[in-house]
Amino acid sequence: MAKPLNILIVSSECTPFAKTGGMGDVVGSLPVFLKKLGHDVRIVIPKYSFINDKKHWIKPALKKMNVQMGNVLEQCSVFSTALNEIVPVYLIEYHEFYDRAGIYHDSEFNDYDDNPKRFAFLSKAALQLCSEIKFIPDVIHANDWHTAVIPAYLKKLFKNDPVLGKTASVLTIHNIAYQGRYSKYYYNYTGLPKEDFTSEKFECFGAVNFLKGGIHYADMVNTVSHGYATETRTLAGGYGMDYFLNIKGANYIGILNGADYSVWDPATDKLIPANYSPIDLKGKHICKKALQKQLGLRQLARTPVIGIISRFVEQKGLYILSECIENIIHNMNVQFAILGAGDRQLETYFGSLPQQHAGKIGCHVGYDNELAHLIEAGSDFFLMPSLYEPCGLNQIYSMKYGTIPIIRATGGLDETVENYNHDTGEGTGFKFQDPDGKAVYNIIELSLHTYFKMKPHFKKLIQNAMKQCFSWEDSAAEYVRLYMRAIENRSYTGDSTLLQQHLQI
Ligand code: ADP
Ligand code: GLC
């Protein structure tokens, strides 16, 4: 192995401590695999007050740490624990910012007004921590807009720092729609110089845009599938960042997420009522029964169940499902098991369906990890009609559980699922293209036809799906190569923007 790297990963989420979606899963699993490859990897996250210290063996690490934010000197404490007992995790305690019920928003899904301050502070505190504990990272890995200010900090505020002066940066874009655009007044709090508040860096239509500044300053930028890397370079998929990603040239790439099969595998999953494997699916039937019971669905073993686990947001295509779900229930022999929370309108709509279609649609509005595992295991199909999907983890998990994905062919969904072939029975799921209710209706009709009328094919689909392996081993090795390239870019000029220009020519 090449020289082991010192890697610091900074994030607003990390499973099992704090998670709203897939980024938490990624930050909670990739480091474990990097560690297994021999690297010294450490994680920094906020110490949200809802994290249970006892359950996670969290201990004080630094009583007092000063963090300069613009002209304000903030003071916080640092705690520590270990992820999977091997990866050190530092938690920044700052009551004013992190003693809240949620990560990004209150229980009414209103974003906290001071989110730009909360996460700029996390970013700066993570850098300060390196000096305090004398950890010299070769690379710092930032995730999404929340920590996207780190690359600029390294190049502007820490360029002559004895600890961080040579540190390279990587920015992973998990979702380009979330850019951290806020009033320009928040820019002062970052402490970055005024010269960086320009339209190629942090300024965007008069506001501050954290992701944009991160894209500019990071030595390497990546996203979570190859397909999404291509989509985000276009006007339609770039949400205004396409131009800036295009000028990154070869310094912007896609790396497909992995799955943590120590958590998401029906053979070992501790959260489901019965385990099972491709050679013996009896446990899956038990899980289906338990799921139907828990969500008030009729106990019909031969009626297929379509599972959905989703943040209720525009991206996930639930509005197009709402156009057709009642027709589907009316015309087809099928049940739905739905779990999600977010958009109030979607919560009200999907939350009211079980009353109107008793026994045929079950829905739990909320966040429930145990139920998520049961839906993966107990459903026959898993539906993701996303308008766009950077990677998507649930379709990857569902294949392992022999739960056939029905997906819109976009981003990471398209990349990870192979469409069913009517002639040969090959494939791992069902794909559709058009983002409308009619397409969802038709693909569900085709999926159910295969389930009921093409039984040998459906069995084969299950076997094929369960064989798929999107393990982190391969993706972690790709991240190491990404880190190496970032380090190379950093040392090339000390300012990778020059290298980017060089690559453009
Ligand atoms: P995204 O990150 O866009 O939400 P992913 O498919 O990458 O989509 O990951 C979603 C992750 O969050 C999965 O682990 C999924 O099980 C979990 N999840 C989403 N909504 C809920 C919920 N309401 N309750 C429990 N887990 C959820
Ligand atoms: C984002 C994306 C999702 C991806 C996850 C982890 O939340 O919406 O597609 O799987 O990040 O990278």
- 309 CB less than 6 Å from ligand 1? yes
Shared domain check, 217 and 295: no
Residues 311 and 419 in one domain: yes
pLDDT reported for residue 178: 97
- Summarize the confidence of residues 119-135 as an average pLDDT: 97
Domain presence at residue 426: yes
Do 478 and 454 belong together in one domain? no
**Across residues 453-478, what is the average pLDDT?**
97
In this structure, are 241 and 188 located in the same domain? yes
pLDDT at position 502 over 60: no
Q: Are residues 453 and 496 in the same domain?
A: no
Structure confidence at residue 496 (pLDDT): 47
The residue contributing the CA closest to ligand 2 atom 3 is: 392
Ligand number, closest to the Cα atom of 255: 2
Task: State the pLDDT confidence band at 3, using cuts at 50, 70 and 90.
Answer: confident
Residue 369 inside a domain? The answer is yes
CB 372 near ligand 1, within 6 Å: yes
Is residue 294 domain-shared with residue 191, that is, in the same domain?
no
For residue 367 and ligand 1, the question of a CB distance below 6 A is answered with yes
Asked if residue 294 and residue 184 are part of one domain, the reply reads no
108 band by pLDDT with thresholds 50, 70 and 90: confident
Rounded CA-CA distance 479/113 in Å is: 33
Across the chain, mean pLDDT equals 96
> Ligand 1 centre from 98 Cα, in Å?
22
For 416: left if phi > 0, alpha if psi spans -120 to 50, otherwise beta; the answer is alpha
pLDDT (tens digit per residue) in 77-102: 999 999 999 999 999 999 999 999 99
Best residue for ligand 1 mutational test, from 25, 256, 403, 470 (most atoms within 8 Å of Cβ)? 25
Ligand 2 centroid–CA 394 distance in Å is 10
In a domain, 191, yes or no: yes
Both 460 and 481 in one domain: the answer is: no
| pLDDT value of residue 499 | 43
Domain co-membership, 286 together with 342: yes
**Which atom of ligand 2 is nearest the CA belonging to 21?**
7
User: Is the distance from CB of 172 to CB of 30 less than 8 angstroms?
Assistant: no
User: 368 CB under 6 A from ligand 1?
Assistant: yes
What pLDDT was estimated at residue 347? 97
Ligand 1 atom closest to residue 23's alpha carbon, by position in its atom list: 2
Q: What is the CATH number of the domain that holds 198?
A: 3.40.50.2000
Does ligand 1 have an atom closer than 6 angstroms to the CB of 225?
no
- The 10s digit of each residue's pLDDT in 361-382 is 999 999 999 999 999 999 999 9
The total number of structural domains in the chain stands at 2
Ligand 2 pocket (Cβ < 6 Å) reads 21-23, 26, 174-175, 224, 257, 389-393, 412
Order of strands, sheet of 181-182, starting from the edge strand that comes earlier in the sequence: 181-182, 207-209, 203-204
Closest among 500, 483, 502 to 167, alpha carbons compared: 483
Report how far ligand 1's centroid is from the alpha carbon of 22 (Å): 6
Lowest mean pLDDT among 30-34, 226-230, 426-430, 494-498: 494-498
Query: What is the percent of the chain with per-residue pLDDT over 90, rounded to a whole number?
Result: 96
Nearest to 308 by CA among 348, 362, 389, 269: 362
Q: Name which of 22-31, 187-196, 273-282, 494-503 the model is least confident about.
A: 494-503
Helices then strands (H, E): number in the chain? 19, 18
pLDDT in tens, 334-364: 999 999 999 999 999 999 999 999 999 999 9
Counting from 1 in the atom list of ligand 2, the atom nearest the Cα of 23 is: 6
In a domain, residue 331? The reply is yes
Domain co-membership, 484 together with 457:
no
Q: Do residues 15 and 27 make contact, with C-beta atoms less than 8 angstroms apart?
A: yes
Q: Which tens digits make up the pLDDT trace of 387-418?
A: 999 999 999 999 999 999 999 999 999 999 99
Above 90 in pLDDT, residue 2? Answer: no
In a domain, 91, yes or no: yes
- The answer to whether residues 293 and 145 belong to one domain is no
Q: Residue 297 pLDDT more than 90?
A: yes
User: Which pLDDT score is estimated for 1?
Assistant: 59
Distance of CA 436 to the CA centre of its chain: 25
Q: Whose CA is nearest to atom 18 of ligand 1?
A: 21
pTM greater than the 0.85 cutoff? yes
Arithmetic mean of pLDDT, 9-23: 97
The string of DSSP letters for 64-98 reads: EEEEEETTEEEEEEEEEEEETTTEEEEEEE-HHHH
pLDDT digits (tens, 9 = 90+) for 189-211: 999 999 999 999 999 999 999 99
Is residue 276, in this structure, part of any structural domain at all? Answer: no
Closest ligand 2 atom to Cα of 224:
12
Can you give the pLDDT at residue 493? 55
Q: Supply the residue whose CA is at minimum distance from atom 2 of ligand 1.
A: 22
Cα 174 from Cα 212, distance rounded (Å): 14
Residue 269, in any domain of the structure = no
**Using CA positions, which residue lies closest to atom 7 of ligand 2?**
22
Does some domain include residue 231?
A: yes
Task: Report how far ligand 1's centroid is from the alpha carbon of 396 (Å).
Answer: 12
C-alpha separations of 166 from 155, 163, 248, 389, 491 in Å: 9, 8, 21, 35, 8
How many Å apart are CA 483 and CA 140, to the nearest integer? Answer: 9
Q: Which domain holds residue 174?
A: 6-258+473-503
Instruction: Judge if 302 and 232 occupy the same domain.
Output: no
Q: What is the pLDDT of residue 504?
A: 43
Q: Is the C-beta atom of 394 inside 6 A of ligand 1?
A: yes
Q: Which ligand is nearest to the CA of 338?
A: 1
Q: Distance (Å, rounded) from C-alpha 341 to C-alpha 309?
A: 9
Ligand 2 atom 1: residue of nearest CA = 174
Q: Which ligand is nearest to the CA of 384?
A: 1
Residue located nearest, by CA, to atom 26 of ligand 1: 369
